[in-house]
Amino acid sequence: MSARHRVPAIGIDLGTTYSCVAVCQNNRIEIIANDQGNRITPSCVAFNDTERLVGDAAKNQAAYNPTNTIFDVKRLIGRRASDKTVQEDMKLWPFIVVAGRGDKPKIVATYKNKKKEFAAEEVSSMILAKLKVVAEKYLGSPVEKAVITVPAYFNDSQRQSTKDAAKVAGLEVIRMINEPTAAAIAYALDKRDDIIGKMNVLVFDLGGGTFDVSILTIDERRVIEVKATGGDTHLGGEDFDNRMVNHFVREFKRKHKEDISKNLKALGRLRDQCERAKRITSTNIQTIINVDCLFNGIDFSAMFSRAKFEEVNMDLFEKCIRTVEMCLRDAKMTKDSIDEVVLIGGSTRIPKVQELLQELFNGKSLCQGINPDEAVAHGAGIVAANLSNMGDEAMQNLTLIDVTPLSLGVGCEGDVMEVLIPRNSPIPIKKEAELYTIMDNQTSMQIPIYQGERSKCTENFFLGEFWLSGLPLAPEGVIKVCVCYEIDVNGILKVSAREITTGKKNAITITNTGSLSKVEIEKMIEDAERFKLEDEAYLNKVMARGDLEKYARKLRAKIKDNNVRLRISALDLKNMERQTEKVLEWLDEIPVAEIDELKNKEMELANLCRRINSNMILN
């Protein structure tokens, strides 16, 4: 297939609050607008009695359907229900999250009057499927491959779960790249004519739910090498909103002696106003929060200033700055050695964040030349073009050297984690370690896998474990097992082991305990297809209903036209008026009618018009 007719892979920024899709067309990266004309799509899914909504449609009805409108799913993916951060979030979300099998969080929603449970991967797949459809409509052909971005600080479990979500959405992930790295790629190609020799760039990525900072070197040959990365997968705009919500919950209790913290609908409406106020205070000094009938018929109104916003969130802003300082230490660089500080993510628009960053870098101007909402998707689109052998020379000559964000190791005796791959090691990477039996005639060995920076296993993230069985009988410490850790270009870990004392090989690859099984993925793919068919059927109903209503109202307008009234007999006129009003009343009384009923009603009106037309001709 020629490059002209070949369908390129797409680049997707799967964000906590908003997502974005890009593709290479005519040697340019295009950000694709969705069906609402928006270049970013809310990462939001909603269910009601009749349909499933994704994106803008879901976000727009969130205030009056809070318990069935799911957002922030990126904060659940690859995590356990018992995680402290998940438990804290559950207190603030208007929807319900329960612990499923294997401590996997499940989101509960009512769809078509039935309670259903959804895994985070399944909800993420719905957002990815929406972006896939957006790209397919733009390109006019099916899309099968994608480059998907993830926070640099995502662990192996979260990366694998994101890959599972893409599979359910019908997308093959050809590369998974870190969000700040993607932004740096967009920056590098945008500034390629200005780069002489080598420059050090710090990417500060503060989005809706995650925070990443990466330090990279970019040279004039378009070689991008990540030197260090840091961050927090639970820090972003949503946390700033939560602080505001908590503040106003306390204010409401102080003023009206009422506690709204357990009222999900009230919290949902208050959250919408807090998000709006946060955006306004980024440009204005103050604004007013207004919510009619917030709780028990009580209207709530309060002044909110930028200074108050900064006060309730200052510790979070300072946490971002401490992460930048730690990243500089990891990269063995000073503040003065950074040539450019690039801001990515909607939350970098907050004036206090910019002020603290400028203070840290001694008044250095911050780079805001690339769109903070689209830069990550733009970079993903460049990598997708590179891997699809499309785009111009600059895209094709791109070289990327990324790093692993967290240390990986094996659990040993005494709750100690022996590190095999330290954090900020360049990837792909492969490291081996030798383990020995700890008792006489030991026939099997347990190999637990951990990720994190603490010396104790129990204080790190447990990824999974496996057993190597069939070891030959021998005294303690004689049998030697070689454990191999291998991280691919997507940052996903594979672990294998072999017994090498006698030359016998027995390799096992670890399967992440938090990822979906093959059966679960297949079921979700079936469900996704069913949802797709149901969505199409519902859309056809809506269109048929719209066609009938439009036809009936057009007839009603024609009947009122004097020229038409003079040409139709009084009996026919009365009959047409009666049938038209009858149809419009029926539409009001039956909001959810079947498509056959709608088409039959339209056919009846059409037949009536044809008969009246015939009478007019005969007369």
364 a catalytic residue: no
Q: Which phi and psi angles does 403 have, rounded to 5°?
A: -130, 165
Distance from C-alpha of 56 to C-alpha of 69, rounded to nearest angstrom: 12
Q: What is the CA radius of gyration of the chain?
A: 29
Q: How far, in Å, CA of 184 to CA of 215, rounded?
A: 9
Give CA–CA dist 204/211, Å, rounded.
8
CA 319 to chain centre: 23
Helix boundaries (H) for 560-594: 562-567, 570-589
- Cβ(368)–Cβ(230) below 8 Å: no
Q: Alpha-carbon distance 351 to 470, whole Å?
A: 62
Alpha-carbon distance 3 to 1, whole Å?
A: 7
Using CA atoms, how far apart are residues 141 and 246, in angstroms rounded to an integer? 47
CA max distance for the chain = 112
> In the numeric block, which tokens belong to residue 402?
């990324």
Catalytic (active site) residue 518: no
Enter the tokens of residue 73: 């799913």
Q: Contact 236/16 with Cβ under 8 angstroms?
A: yes
CB 16, CB 72: distance < 8 Å: yes
3-class SS at 477?
A: coil
CA distance 437 to 120: 40
Q: In degrees rounded to 5, what are phi and psi of residue 486?
A: -135, 120
End-to-end CA distance of the chain: 64
The label of the residue with tokens 């820090």 reads 235
Question: Is residue 428 reached through a cis peptide bond, with omega within 30 degrees of 0 on the bond before it?
Answer: yes
333-368: b (≥16 Cβ within 10 Å) or e = beeeebebbbbbbbbbbbebbbebbeebbeebebbe
Query: Which of the 8 DSSP states describes residue 413?
Result: T
Q: Is 520 helix (H, G, I), strand (E, B) or coil?
A: helix
> Which of 72, 156, 179, 212 does the annotation list as catalytic?
179
Provide CB contacts within 8 A for 5, sequence distance 6+.
Answer: none
Q: How far apart are CA 553 and CA 547, in angstroms?
A: 10
Closest CA to 44 of 206, 275, 231, 320: 275
With 0-12 / 13-18 / 19 or more C-beta atoms within 10 angstroms meaning exposed / middle / buried, residue 166 is buried
541 is catalytic: no
Task: Find the catalytic residue in 164, 205, 232, 499.
Answer: 205
Residue 479: name the closest of 432, 448, 440 by CA: 440
- Catalytic residue (choose from 56, 59, 72, 74): 74
Compute the distance between CA of residue 171 and CA of residue 156 in angstroms, rounded to an integer. Answer: 19
Closest CA to 215 of 356, 345, 329: 329
Catalytic-residue membership of 13: yes
How far apart, in whole angstroms, are the C-alpha atoms of residue 183 and residue 177?
10
Which residues are catalytically annotated?
A: 13, 74, 179, 205
